[in-house]
Each structure stands twice: as structure tokens, then as C-alpha cells.
Amino acid sequence: FEQVACGAVDSLCLGANEVQAVFEDYGHPFPELMIATEQVLYYPMPLQFYCHPQAIALQAQLTKTLNEYQRAGALRTLFEQHFGPQVSALALAQRAVHRLHNPFLSDGSSLAETLSPLLRTPDPAG
């Protein structure tokens, strides 16, 4: 926050699921700063868990379970349970979206090609 406030950098990019909490925790000394309300940067990133290199069984179980959750649509449900209110409060679908390329994702990655459902414009019919 200090670097943005003093002009050393132009912005601080945070995830939609964390920006409000981080701002509340660290932003009070900088009343001139605010969370952007009209723009959003979209940078596709994989969900990652870090395990000790020797925790082979844990790595395998996490991979298996997360893949199952992804296939069943439960990963999105879990995300919404934990972060839904914070993300909804940001009204991301109402913002101009600037998609950034993640060079670390393979060209065929579905993550690289899709736009998060959190950013899609809501259906005007309901």
C-alpha cells in the first residue's frame, strides 16, 4: 500500500476473493487509495496447493479429489461458499474486463481460453 500511496507503483493487483479483506486490514493508513470500481484485470491462474516434496500420498489425494470436484462442479460451489459474498459485492460483471495473457499456461489450456463466470455479463432476462 505504501508503494502505491507514494507513487512508486501505479497499482496493487489482488484477487477478487481477497481484495476487500486486504484493503480493510492494511488500507486504513492510506485514505487516498481505493478499490477500482469500473475496471478489472483478468489473469487466468490455476488453483495450486503446495505440499512437502516427500508428501507423495497427500499430493496424489489432493490431485484426485480436486479433479473429482472440478468434474462434478463442486469446486465452484466450494469457492462460492467461501468467497461468494466478497466477490458479489464487487459487481465484477458490471466492469470493463481487460484480459491478460498468462504465458505459463499451455495454449490448449481451458483455463487460458475461458473467461471466469464471475466476470460474465448477467443475462438481462434474469
- Average pLDDT for 75-93: 85
How far apart CA 19 and CA 33 sit, in angstroms, is: 13
How far apart CA 105 and CA 42 sit, in angstroms, is: 14
pTM for the structure as a whole: 0.67
The pLDDT of residue 10 is above 70:
yes
Q: What is the pLDDT of residue 77?
A: 84
Count of H-run helices and E-run strands, the chain: 5, 2
How far apart CA 35 and CA 27 sit, in angstroms, is: 10
Q: What is the pLDDT of residue 122?
A: 42
Residue of higher predicted confidence among 88 and 47: 88
How far apart CA 99 and CA 115 sit, in angstroms, is: 8
Least confident of 85-89, 97-101, 107-111: 107-111
CB 13 within 8 A of CB 41: yes
Residue of higher predicted confidence among 55 and 93: 55
